[in-house]
Structure 1
Amino acid sequence: MKKIRIAFTGIIASVILSGCVTTGEFEQMKSDIARLYVENNQLKQEISELKTRVDKMSSDLSSAVALKEGQLTLLAQTQDYVKELQILKGRFEENSFQNEKKFKELSDKIAELQAKLTQPAQPSEKQQPAKAPEEQLKDPKAIYDSAHIDMKNKKFASAREKFQEIIKNYPDFELLPNSYFWIGETYYNEKKYEDAILAYEEFLKRYPKHEKAPGALLKEGMAFVELKDKKTAKVVFERVIERYPQSKEAEIAQQKIAEILKSWNSDKKPTKKVKSKTKR
């Protein structure tokens, strides 16, 4: 603008000095210079707008590059997650297959025991005479307490009969679940381990969340150990850990599994042959 003004001043001075320019020509020159002034302002504004657009395009380009890099990083992470998910899925399917196999073996074993024990029993030579109706207890709590006294005195058959009486005649008794559990205990103490397993299993089916459930499942596994069926016992102990991980029975089950594995490893160790010395 300074240059335009200087030029304008110079032109005016020249014209005045020369005295050759008419008034009309002078006005035309002033009009042309004013037009140039306006066009120059418009050009400056366009240049400013163009610069703003270039800056915005540069910023957008930088953002696009950063976004592209972020997308590539995210894509790489996603691919890693997909691979990890596939590995975990494979492990889960393998564990599910193994667990289903173990539980099927256990169910088959229990069904086999149940079929064996539901066969008609031979009548015993000595049978306890039935109590007279007037001698029978009517209060379920009294029957329950009497059964526990029999347990302490190792009269397991008598105790079992009283627990069974509670189950049969007093379905609303508050200690009914305990009666199912103690029936299993009577069989276990009599070393009737197959009957004990079925009694514990009946209790667990009815009351899987009862406070005595971890103990019942643990004793079921120990009964299989007593039957020399360590493979099934290991499956039962694993169920204890899976179902009741925070219980003391889970700790005992872990110890029992370690004992079973140790016994298997010792059975696999080859025996050293002792070379006999020959006399010369």
Structure 2
Amino acid sequence: MPGTTSGRWPAKSRVVLIAMLLAALGAQQAHAGLFDDEEARRQVSDLQQKANERLDTVARGQMELANQIQALRDENARLRGQVETLSYELDADKKRGKDLYIDLDARLRKLETPAASTATATTAGQPTRPADTSTAASEAPRRATSDPASEAREYEAALNLFRANKLKEAAAAFDAFAKTHPDSTLTPNAYYWLGNAHYAMRDCRRALEAQRVVGNKWPTHAKAADALLNVATCQQELGDNQSARNTLEALLAKYPDSSAAKAAKQRLRK
């Protein structure tokens, strides 16, 4: 009996030991499972935080981009407004310049017409000498057909066409006047405005021809300096820069005290 009893205890001990081992193993597995869940939650939390940070960065970038686009739109609108303003001012300056030329032209005609009338009256008051009979006879038809009042009306009509921006009609009217009245005191003015009309229609070659007539045929006329300046402008626009420079230098030499000479100096400095 003692031997049997003593033989059973080791078996129970083994059972208890096995039970304890199993319990310890289960506790370790439970602890490992708990550890795995916490690590997974931490990783998920980190990913969510990083994702939120990236979303915030993207949102800020989109906001900055939207602000930049709006700023560009505002700048574009401002520049467009400036361009429109400058275009309006340029058109206004062109109109004022045209009105100024027309006004100056009218003033010059008032000065020229009395001078021509005085010269005619002086000639008429002189006695006719026998030696001048043939000359007077040959000039009689031309003087008889010359009517300063009619010429002034024709010239004014052409000038009104130019003033109304009817450039093609004005050019035709000035050309007709110059051919019909080659010896009129208004003919230099007609050639000058004929050149301006062609220039306004972007026909620089014909404008150049008309302006050259003024300077070559009437070099002492009040518009000769301005005509020469216009010749240089046309030459430059046609790409003949050297000829334009030569013309400006000739302008300075011939008409140093004219307003056109001041403009020529400025161009030569460039």
TM-score, structure 1 normalization: 0.41
TM-score, structure 2 normalization: 0.42
